[in-house]
Structure 1
């Protein structure tokens, strides 16, 4: 296994079964984790989390708005209580929703997440969006800039209750503005990233500034068309990434074995994840299917794509953002305004 760019780690350095990347402040983060959006049904989610830990997952990505921090905290605590795992063996990411991104409200919101997760610290805290809302969760607060949001996160970081801080769904321009005034540089940027939205400019900017990129929606998020926070976003239809000709062709190249001629969708899945990993991007695919959960982790760490294959996937002609975050429209800090 090789490490991502600017990681100062041995080539076999892992956490669980995932390779590690070293953040710019020295904190280590797995490059493969489990996304938990849409995972708020307790019985099912507990089983998936327990199986994921047993498979070697150590990074768990949640958010206050996902409604599952307490479930994650309870499962993690059970592993601590049994003595099979310690807190330092996990990497937990959570996010502050825009309703609480005003600098005066961030600390209380964070401490609520901390209590629900039943942990003395969080490994990574993200501003879920660059837009701040009033307490009704709907009305925009245009007075709060990304610079102000970041200064609030810096105050939380200074307490030592969080090991790293970052942003989610921010643009390059917004990150540039913050990096100019930051006392603590951005450690991680989480963005939608896949073959239909490769984020070439943003990834290049982050590499230059030693910001680790985490990509969500890496498999096309086929189950995204569901209600979220009481409303169903107007998600546009999109092609199936598993049937994208370039993805199929690359999967055939890496999936064929001497006794195997017919390719299964498993290899397209592995290629879609490996495509991001080979670009130094952390991936957090969500699944409640235990076989796919295993494939997402164990099936992507023993091969690499050639540069020519990465270039081919970089240039898939279809371009589409799957998550338009419509609630940001009209806010002065709407990071997708130019795409609307």
Structure 2
């Protein structure tokens, strides 16, 4: 059972190989129901981010489970992420402290740099600053080495057990590795049977970096996100409708989603499927 399988991080800590993703889960009632369901079913790895704007709701649920004695803090593996507006040496500590406050935790198990690019910061917002034309304003330079040193300081201070990267490519990871005192424990990227990123996964494994897969069933709901941004829907890959996946699912009496997730677990990658539907979470 994937929930019982774990990946060992360089720190020696175990990360459950199946986690609950929470991107696009912004309705408080929805996320609280989903998280309670997941914890009841045995999920212990929960993935969020400052940019998802649901850390407060997640924090309330975690507080209830821990304060009631149903779970100990060390039973859980909680990941959150530094937003693009925090990708600056002066703002790393500010944003991790804010996330910890929202999550009502003293530390997170994994803190990731969400994207390898810094955006202009507007006080009070986790979203990039846009100019009068609605265009995102980026920092003139992103100093990966300086930012990683600030990430390392969060481990030293006990705010994060492990630190890592998200949406970085091999060149960008290599830049961090060359100067790192504490090496990245994890890389989180889009990964599924239709987008296997074999070279990137192999590179990470050779360097002792665990890989977490977001959109592990190819994100069939992505068009809802595009429409909300005012963009046109696009043709999406239908991994769950793939005849080969269906054939394997039928053979093993499983759902196509279970097959898609099991594929990733078997190649040593930790999938974090997102759902707010209790039956799908189960």
Q: CA deviation at 1:248?
A: 2.3
Cross-structure match for 1:132: 118
Decide which of 19, 36, 39 is 2:22's aligned counterpart: 36
Q: CA deviation at 1:18?
A: 3.0
Consecutive unaligned residues in structure 1, runs of 5 or more: 2-13, 256-265, 295-340
Match runs of 1:1-340 below 5 Å: 17-136=3-122, 137=128, 138-227=136-225, 231-232=229-230, 236-255=234-253, 266-294=254-282
CA distance in 1, matches of 2:204, 2:189: 11
The number of residues matched between the two structures is 269
CA distance in 2, matches of 1:86, 1:210: 28
Q: CA deviation at 1:249?
A: 2.9
Quote the RMSD (CA, aligned, Å): 1.8
Contact 1:18 1:57 in 2 (8 A): no
Contact 1:226 1:232 in 2 (8 A): no
- TM-score, normalised with respect to structure 2: 0.90
Contact 2:23 2:52 in 1 (8 A): yes
Q: CA deviation at 1:195?
A: 1.3
Contact 2:220 2:236 in 1 (8 A): no
Q: Secondary structure at the match of 1:34?
A: strand
CA distance in 2, matches of 1:152, 1:274: 36
CA distance in 2, matches of 1:38, 1:163: 26
* Cα deviation code 1:95-115 (max 9, x no counterpart): 011111101111001100000
- TM-score, normalised with respect to structure 1: 0.75
Cross-structure match for 2:125: none
